[in-house]
Amino acid sequence: MARKYDWRTGSNVEATLSVIGGRWKPVILCNLLVGRLRFGELCRNMPNATQRMVTLQLRELEADGVIKRHVFAEVPPRVEYELTEFGRSLEPVLSVMREWGIAFKKRKLAEEGADQTAEDNAA
């Protein structure tokens, strides 16, 4: 699972993106802002992500020290994930990303509504 990013020479934005970049890592992190979650709960909260992808992303986040993995010696085995203190420091970044996403979705919905109105008027 080696990554090709060299944190000694890359830019600061590149360093951030090497940790939280991608489609699913920010979603995982936003889910964990509420507290500890089991693997199954994370997967249910992200129905468009495969279990394999969630597993790979969780492993990378754990390797970077952003999340902690808690394994319980039970049958069946239970695994929970939570943000580390270092991971919690991403909360402002994730909040801004969430707000931007809300604004983007509103804008796109408004554009689609305007396009639909124009089509209706043309017909």
Query: Tens of pLDDT along 27-37?
Result: 999 999 999 99
Average pLDDT of every residue of the chain: 89
Q: Is pLDDT at 99 greater than 70 in this prediction?
A: yes
Tokens of 45: 């909260």
| Four-CA torsion 63, 65, 71, 76, nearest 10 degrees | -60
Domain 1-87 in this protein, CATH class: mainly alpha
Between these two residues, 1 and 6, which has the higher pLDDT value? 6
Q: Where are the domains of the chain?
A: 1-87, 90-123
Take residue 116 and report the two structure tokens written for it: 């639909």
pLDDT tens by residue, 29-63: 999 999 999 999 999 999 999 999 999 999 999 99
- Quick one: pLDDT at residue 120? 66
Q: What count of residues does the chain have?
A: 123
The CA distance from 1 to 60, in Å, is 8
| Partner residues linked to 82 by β-bridges | 68
Burial class (CB in 10 A: 0-12, 13-18, 19+), 68: middle
> For residues 6, 7, 13 and 14, what is the CA-based torsion angle, rounded to 10 degrees?
20
